[in-house]
């Protein structure tokens, strides 16, 4: 099998998958993004609440990542209105929601946006059901992905996560997983982005039955409210708690060190790099592969994207993509 023909599937949210998808599209002719559909914050949350549509935000980001359209078109889909009644709304979110309302089919909206953006690959919602994420920590219950992302868990807590109503795996997503050569679980917000994708009914079974190699690209930095002091192995354990034990075949983790300036800025928010405990790797069933996967490129902010906090410590998508291709 030529690597260009390899069927690679990336599971995750929007921001966490962006760099990885942007790089992988240049290395394979068969790339699919399976996207979490529990987002209910910001522009997406307002559209879901007011129009009754499925959440477009993470889908939009994955479409832009795979786009081969001119830069102006990509920027158009990321453009956020700076003022007025549309303040904070992304044009791409409005486009997807408008087509969904017109056709009454979210898949049609995603396909049409993909045509406009000339995407290399496919973007598929992991479920087409409305799914409200619920988190239970002790006696406390929090509803909604955004509220969960803002909730502080007691240190060492492993929250119980589930959907208020069952969400079924999109049949198209099931077929994609079944035929994949590699499934990559992208870095992302563990309890608010990755878990909602993995908890969809049918995902764990589909991954278990797939012949694909299952690879997890570990996060770079811990979230103080959710994953304080987590190690690489802690992330793997949680992913397998939401799916199946011994599901992961390979884990890619970063060994590079961010600049002192960036580390100090993150420390102000009590965010520190994910711990690397090699003793845990020795007893793990998966293969842990370390590498210098950190981007040292100058980070610029989209001038239109005034309402989203961008990370400085991020993966170099090209370096991660090359490491993934070696596993094929």
| Residue bearing the bigger pLDDT, 309 or 252 | 252
Residue 119 has a pLDDT of 96
Residue 150 CA: distances (Å) to CA of 36, 56, 125, 146, 147: 18, 21, 24, 6, 5
Residue 308 banded pLDDT, cuts 50, 70, 90: very low
Condensed to tens digits (0 to 9), the pLDDT of residues 158-200 reads 999 999 999 999 999 999 999 999 999 999 999 999 999 999 9
Residue 300 has a pLDDT of 56
Report the distance separating Cα 21 and Cα 59, nearest Å.
Answer: 12
Condensed to tens digits (0 to 9), the pLDDT of residues 246-299 reads 999 999 999 999 999 999 999 999 999 999 999 999 999 999 999 999 998 765
Residue 303 has pLDDT above 80, yes or no: no
Q: What is the pTM of this model?
A: 0.93
Residue 102 has a pLDDT of 93
CA nearest to 118, candidates 171, 59, 84, 74: 74
Residue 305 CA: distances (Å) to CA of 78, 81, 88, 215, 218: 7, 9, 8, 31, 26
Indicate the domain borders of the chain: 3-326
Give strand ranges (E) for the chain: 7-12, 30-35, 122-125, 133-137, 140-143, 160-163, 182-185, 213-217, 250-254, 287-291
Residue 302 has pLDDT above 80, yes or no: no
Domain covering 3-326, topology: Rossmann fold (3.40.50)
Residue 306 has pLDDT above 50, yes or no: no
Residue 29 has pLDDT above 50, yes or no: yes
Helix (H) or strand (E) holding 17: helix 15-24
């Amino acid at each position: 099998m030529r690597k260009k023909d390899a069927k690679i599937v990336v599971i995750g949210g929007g921001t966490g998958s962006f760099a990885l998808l942007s790089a992988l599209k240049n290395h394979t002719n068969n790339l699919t993004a399976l996207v979490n559909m529990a987002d209910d914050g910001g522009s997406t949350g307002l559209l879901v609440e007011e129009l009754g549509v499925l959440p477009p935000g993470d889908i939009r980001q994955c479409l832009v990542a795979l786009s081969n359209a001119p830069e102006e078109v990509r920027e158009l889909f990321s453009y956020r209105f700076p003022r007025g009644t549309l303040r904070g709304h992304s044009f791409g979110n409005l486009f997807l929601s408008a087509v969904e309302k017109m056709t009454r089919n979210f898949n049609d909206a995603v396909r049409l946006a993909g045509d406009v953006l000339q995407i290399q690959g496919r973007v598929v919602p992991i479920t087409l059901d409305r799914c409200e994420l619920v988190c239970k920590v002790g006696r406390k219950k929090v509803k909604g992905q955004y509220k969960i992302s803002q909730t502080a868990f007691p240190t060492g807590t492993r929250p119980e996560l589930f959907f208020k109503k069952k969400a079924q795996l999109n049949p198209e997503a099931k077929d994609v997983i079944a035929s994949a050569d590699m499934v990559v679980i992208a870095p992302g917000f563990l309890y608010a982005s990755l878990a909602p994708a993995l908890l969809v009914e049918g995902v764990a079974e589909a991954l278990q039955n797939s012949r694909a190699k299952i690879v997890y690209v570990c996060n770079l930095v811990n979230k103080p409210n959710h994953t304080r002091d987590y190690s690489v192995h802690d992330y793997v354990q949680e992913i397998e708690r939401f799916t199946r034990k011994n599901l992961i075949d390979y884990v890619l983790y970063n060994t590079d060190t961010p600049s002192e300036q960036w580390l100090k800025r993150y420390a102000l928010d009590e965010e520190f790099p994910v711990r690397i405990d090699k003793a845990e790797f020795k007893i793990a069933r998966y293969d842990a592969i370390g590498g210098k996967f950190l981007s040292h490129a100058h980070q610029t902010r989209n001038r239109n994207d005034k309402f989203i906090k961008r990370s400085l410590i991020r993966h170099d998508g090209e370096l991660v993509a090359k490491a993934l291709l070696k596993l094929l």
